[in-house]
Amino acid sequence: GAVVSQHPSWVICKSGTSVKIECRSLDFQATTMFWYRQFPKQSLMLMATSNEGSKATYEQGVEKDKFLINHASLTLSTLTVTSAHPEDSSFYICSARAQQGSYEQYFGPGTRLTVT
Amino acid sequence: AQSVTQLDSQVPVFEEAPVELRCNYSSSVSVYLFWYVQYPNQGLQLLLKYLSGSTLVKGINGFEAEFNKSQTSFHLRKPSVHISDTAEYFCAVSDRSTGFQKLVFGTGTRLLVSP
């Protein structure tokens, strides 16, 4: 149980275009989903926290207009990187929490974004 | 703000040898502690967690960790490693300041197991 999927697993896009990454909880309802960014050989940095049906809460330094997060249902959250640039190239990982007050996050397999 | 330190960026070890991966955190308030493993181009898999109770926590794949409040440490150990344990290991902490809702990760330790 507690499986989280991400799609696509790998994407290449041209500079200036937008790309959408999906995060789905397959066998549970996720009241909260988290989006992380991981640079090569570095740790995960929390970008934002999204709760179903409400606006995402972004961490300091993360541009909310560039990284659009939508959490429209209890099993799906999307991250859209708008007007992507090469410096946005990274590994994006989502996680999901099953219920309010739960302290465990279940992680997706990640999406590698390369902007050319 | 909470911070997590993993002093060793890389730990080489021979197969069947014991290993310890170190993790220290900064906050003295109540904490929850986690160790995750990441294989290449994959997400994170939970190895073990400490929420309360016994300070010695056993996880999957033969790993265990010990919570030491006085030293603010949560070192990961395995008595005998396998080639398949080669991966990146992340220590993570959540604390009362965020209602235990947010994870702060260390920079990771790459475990390299050789024959």
Q: What is the nearest CA distance from A49 to chain B, expressed in angstroms? A: 9
pLDDT for position B19: 98
Closest alpha carbon to B86 in B108, B113, B109, B61 = B113
Report residues of chain B scoring pLDDT below 50.
none
Distance of CA B52 to the CA centre of its chain: 16
pLDDT for position A107: 92
pLDDT for position B80: 97
- Would you report the helix, strand and coil content of chain A in percent, each value rounded to 5? 5, 55, 45
- Chain B residues contacting A, CB < 8 Å? 32, 36, 41-46, 49, 51, 90, 94, 100-108
pLDDT for position A103: 76
Q: Which of B31, B105, B111, B112 to mutate to test the interface with A (most CBs of A within 10 A)?
A: B105
Report residues of chain A scoring pLDDT below 70.
1, 100-102
pLDDT for position B72: 94
pLDDT for position A39: 84
Q: Rounding to the nearest 10 degrees, give the CA dihedral for residues A104, A113, A12, A53.
A: 50
A48 touching B, CB under 8 A? no
pLDDT for position B10: 96
pLDDT for position A31: 85
What residues of A are in contact with residue B107 (Cβ under 8 Å)? 42-43
Question: CA–CA distance from A107 to each of A26, A33, A63, A83 (Å)?
Answer: 12, 10, 23, 26
Strands A76-81 and A57-58: unpaired
